[in-house]
Structures are given as C-alpha cells and as structure tokens.
Structure 1
Amino acid sequence: MSDGQKWEELCRRCGECCFEKKIDAKGVIHTTAVPCRFLDIHSRSCRVYEQRLQLEEDCIQLTPENIAGLDWLPQGCGYRRLLTE
C-alpha cells in the first residue's frame, strides 16, 4: 500500500468538507446545507474524485502540510484527528 493510499484511508467519508462554508462578521466559519455539485449526498462520495481539483475551483486537496490550517474541518475528521495523535 502506498503512502497516498494510507492518507486517503484516513477519510471517514462524512462529506462535511464538501459543503459550502460561510464566514460571519466575527470571522467564524459555518458549514451550510449546500453541498458541492459533485457530492453524492447519499454515499457522501465525490462523483468526479479524480478530476475534482480541475472541475471545482473551490475544492482543496487535503495534505499533511495544509490540514493544520484548515480550522473548518469537522472535529471527527480523520485528517484532523491525525494532528492530535
């Protein structure tokens, strides 16, 4: 198994990172009920996963280098939990 596969397996498939976010006047980030157009809301998987970064300009590739700065990731996110271990 490659390091990339191990990284992908951290994802719990909650889909929370694929919903639009809004920042309020106090700078607090809120997840909306509006999913990405490519998110299958039943399976919580991306319909265009391999091309997501090219097809959706707001899609962010999660990496070990950038997850610490992504405060909007849900508490139960497998990637975020990696930071606390």
Structure 2
Amino acid sequence: MGALRDKFWELPLGDLTRAEWEALCDGCGKCCLHKIEDENTGTIEGTNVACKLLDTDTAQCIDYRNRRTYVPDCMRLTLKIVKDVTWLPASCAYRLRADGKPLKDWHYLISGDRESVKQAGVSVAGRVISEVDAGPLDHHLVEWDADETDWDGDSE
C-alpha cells in the first residue's frame, strides 16, 4: 500500500489515492453481509449472514485481494457509486465522507486502535454466521438501529 497523507480522511473522497481509499474502511464487515431485496417494493433487509470469505471472528476478508475470483459478485465500492449504494450503514466511513461528515470517534483513524470498532459494538465480528453454515437467508434477518451500534435480529 502506498504512503498515506496526514489526516487524509478529512479530504474529499475524490482527492484520495487508492491506498487512502482502502485505508478509509473501518473494518466493520457490514458490507460483507448478505441482503434480501423485496421484489415488489425494492426494500432491502439486512441479515447476519456473512460472505464465505469473511472471517466471522474478526470481520476481515480472508482473501481480499483475490475475493472476486471466489465471489464474482463481490462489489468494489468506488467513488462513482458510493452515494448510490443505499444499503451502506449510516456509520460507514465512505458514506460519512461522501456526505461531508467526519468519521466516528471509534474509527481506527481517529482512535488509533483497530479494535475500537469492535469495542463500540459496530463490528459484525462474533455476531454473524457464514453463508456456508447459515441455511435460508430469511431465517437470519436483522435490523440495525439508527446509531449502528447494535442490531436486533430474529435469527433462528
């Protein structure tokens, strides 16, 4: 990864280098959870079912560089589409910065601690199941609260 500028996360997203863009991710893992879209309404519901490449204990992709080889529909979040991805959580660093808002205090770039996303209750680490073991997605629906720090699920 290339050199990161001091406080690069305060810059507009369009000014970030590729390395800075990648470093902006808070590592919560929520974008790696399966979603269910209602065919009639277009409403998207979240689940607690993780992509097979997400380590459910750490919320980190086990093969990020090659993920599209194993999961062809894995979305690459880009500047061009970040505002159109409606299912990104409100706490997502990309969404916050796209809206001109500052990062949350628990973001590792602010706190200096990669574990702070877990300590704040925002990470999916230890709270999700792999798609390999999950069974039907509709048995694993969850609803994130407004602060994104906890979610209520009716998973079975």
Q: TM-score, normalised by structure 2?
A: 0.52
Larger radius of gyration between Structure 1 and Structure 2: 2
Name the amino acid aligned to 1:41: T
Q: Deviations over 1:5-59 (max 9, x none)?
A: 1101111100000010101242111111110000011111100100012210220
Unaligned stretches of 5+ residues in structure 2 = 5-16, 101-156
Unaligned stretches of 5+ residues in structure 1 = none
> Is the counterpart of residue 36 in structure 1 residue 36 in structure 2?
no
The Cα shift of 1:66 comes to 1.1
> Is the counterpart of residue 7 in structure 1 residue 21 in structure 2?
yes
> Is the counterpart of residue 80 in structure 1 residue 81 in structure 2?
no
Inter-partner Cα distance in structure 1 for 2:80 and 2:69: 20
**Maintained 8 Å contact 1:38/1:48:** yes
**Maintained 8 Å contact 1:20/1:35:** yes
Identity of aligned residues (%): 35
Q: TM-score, normalised by structure 1?
A: 0.92
Number of equivalenced pairs = 85
Name the amino acid aligned to 2:68: L
RMSD: 1.2
